[in-house]
């Protein structure tokens, strides 16, 4: 089970993100027609800045968790990756024109969002198997850990496939 500070921090970040998205970003955005449906989209620069703020909030959660757990390793595990995402998002926002995504970019984003779902499902299954293995004993626990371990290469392959597709979509959107 994840620590309470991580669960509460993630819930707060998700809640604040939805609040900012609904009250600030969507009203500033525009409505586009994609596949016959009206879609309200945010401006590209605003979306990048929101990503920077979200990753910055996760850094704060990590620092609080490191203080609670008295762990320097935890501090590094939160600050380094989320700091990199924050810096990259701010850099991207500074380079991004203040425009809304095109219909083609929205379709590509929806395709990519559907593409990550299998990897996410396997990851959730692995978490469930790991937790179940912790609460059982003997052969059942060993089997659950074995299945969990066997699913890891599957998860890596699904993640690799998603990243390859994302790279292809990015190359196509940059050239076209």
Same domain, 5 and 78: yes
Find how far residue 103's CA is from the centre of its chain.
22
pLDDT band at 139 (very low <50, low <70, confident <90, very high): very high
Same domain, 76 and 7: yes
Same domain, 11 and 77: yes
How much is the pTM? 0.66
Domain extent, residue 65, equals 1-100
Percent of the chain's residues with pLDDT above 90: 25
Query: For all residues of the chain together, what is the average pLDDT?
Result: 85
Tell the burial category of 175 from Cβ atoms under 10 Å away from its Cβ (0-12, 13-18, 19+).
Answer: exposed
Is a pLDDT exceeding 70 seen at residue 1? no
Mean pLDDT computed over 63-76: 87
Does 5 or 52 have the greater pLDDT score? 52
């Amino acid at each position: 089970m994840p620590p309470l500070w991580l669960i509460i921090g993630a819930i707060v970040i998700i809640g604040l993100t939805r609040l900012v998205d609904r009250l600030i970003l969507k009203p500033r955005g525009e409505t586009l027609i994609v596949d016959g449906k009206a879609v309200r989209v945010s401006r590209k620069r605003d979306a990048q800045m929101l990503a920077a703020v979200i990753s910055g909030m996760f850094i704060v959660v990590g620092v609080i968790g490191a203080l609670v757990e008295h762990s320097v390793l935890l501090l590094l595990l939160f600050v380094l990756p989320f700091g990199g995402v924050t810096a990259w998002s701010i850099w991207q926002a500074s380079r991004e024109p203040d425009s809304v995504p095109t219909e083609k970019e929205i379709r590509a984003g929806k395709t990519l969002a559907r593409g990550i779902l299998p990897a996410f499902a396997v990851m959730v299954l692995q978490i469930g198997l790991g937790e179940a293995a912790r609460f059982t004993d003997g052969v059942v626990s060993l089997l659950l850990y074995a299945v969990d371990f066997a699913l890891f290469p599957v998860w890596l392959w699904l993640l690799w496939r998603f990243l390859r597709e994302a790279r292809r979509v990015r190359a196509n959107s940059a050239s076209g």
